[in-house]
Amino acid sequence: MYHSWLDRWDERRAKRGEEGKETRSFILDAERAFPDANKVASLEEFCGLAERAAVDPAFFAEPRGSDQGFQRHDGWLQFPSSISTDVEENNVVWAKVTESGTFDQAMVVFHHWNASARNRQIAKYLSRSGITVVEMAMPYHFERRRPGSVYADYMLSPNLGRTIQSVRQAVLDGRKLIHWLKGEGYREISVLGMSLGSWVAGIVAAHDPAVFKASLFLTGGSLADMVWTGRATRSIRTGLEPNIGLTDLRRAWAPLNLETYAHLLAKRKLDLHVVLAKRDKVVLPELSESFMQRLKAVGASPNILNLNCGHYTLGMPPYIVFAGLSLKRFLLTLPPSFIQF
């Protein structure tokens, strides 16, 4: 009875999330994803570029001048994005800083798609434990929102190239922020990603050696599969489906597949924490399980908390309490690789 109520609540929340979402047109837009590419006219050409980018360490490389242009005032950070887009507001990154009073650890938070507010409760909760929390606005969200838009349709859409550009922009902005935090004296940097933000946090953690710990909430491996099967992305699939199948979408979004970087996430000095929802209709449990199996196959040992709730009901008691306590323990526990005898 109780779990049926949870499922109904999740469905009502999902329906509210559909309000204002429009079905956009499919487009390659390869020049956004791969700035150095020549004019790409076919899906096959696009997929070839994407597959090469997925194995190119330079694609998500830390941008030059990562410590430049930062302004700090009244608990906020502002800095220029590493990628310039045609939406002026999106080219300035905003981050809310909740200080802990120490320089022992800072955590960069990447929120979920279409987030309407930052996670003030989590920030206050962790800051009291000595962790400075930095909540970065992802592309086209919060202060970076495209004028006139009612949701972040430029972050995730049937525009294959813009979606890659947006996720890459979020990753590069995150790496730039981490570099600045290290320069400010923070000794340990962790990342937390929620839903779509978990893909960003995972790619950042895979590529940035400064990341000490990574916590991924409501995550999966293939972003293409998540969009194709998820409850929250039906309008995107509607725009994609007449023009591309799932097999080719996996190829086209190969740089955004966390399973591609599982071997990097398994590196010795990175500690992994994952929170999943058994009743999730947005990131289906089978996608999460496939990703967990891939991580274990390459030697990672993720700390997994699997709760019997849905994607949205994770934010409700008691599940958010369980998740918060698990996250706190993870962040404050020294991983085995750092224990010296």
Domain boundaries, the chain: 2-336
d(CA 72, CA 13): 36
Percent helix, percent strand, percent coil in the chain, to nearest 5: 45, 15, 40
Query: What's the number of CA atoms in the CB half-sphere (13 Å) around residue 326?
Result: 22
d(CA 315, CA 111): 13
User: CA quadruple 67, 169, 62, 32: dihedral positive or negative?
Assistant: negative
pLDDT for 14 equals: 66
Instruction: Profile the chain (341 residues) by mean pLDDT over runs of 10 residues.
Output: 66 68 87 87 95 96 78 95 96 97 94 92 93 98 94 95 98 97 95 98 97 97 97 95 97 98 91 97 98 97 96 94 96 60 27
Please name which of 257, 61, 95, 65 lies closest in space to residue 171, comparing C-alpha atoms: 61
**Predicted model pTM:** 0.95
pLDDT for 339 equals: 38
pLDDT for 338 equals: 43
Do residues 211 and 203 lie in contact, with contact meaning Cβ atoms separated by under 8 Å? Answer: no
Q: How is residue 304 written in tokens?
A: 């997994």
Please name which of 144, 129, 60 lies closest in space to residue 95, comparing C-alpha atoms: 144
Q: How is residue 112 written in tokens?
A: 């979920």
User: CA quadruple 81, 37, 221, 250: dihedral positive or negative?
Assistant: positive
Topology (CATH) of 2-336: Rossmann fold (3.40.50)
Q: Helix crossing, 120-127 with 319-332: angle to 10°?
A: 40
pLDDT for 103 equals: 86
Residue for token pair 């340990």: 188
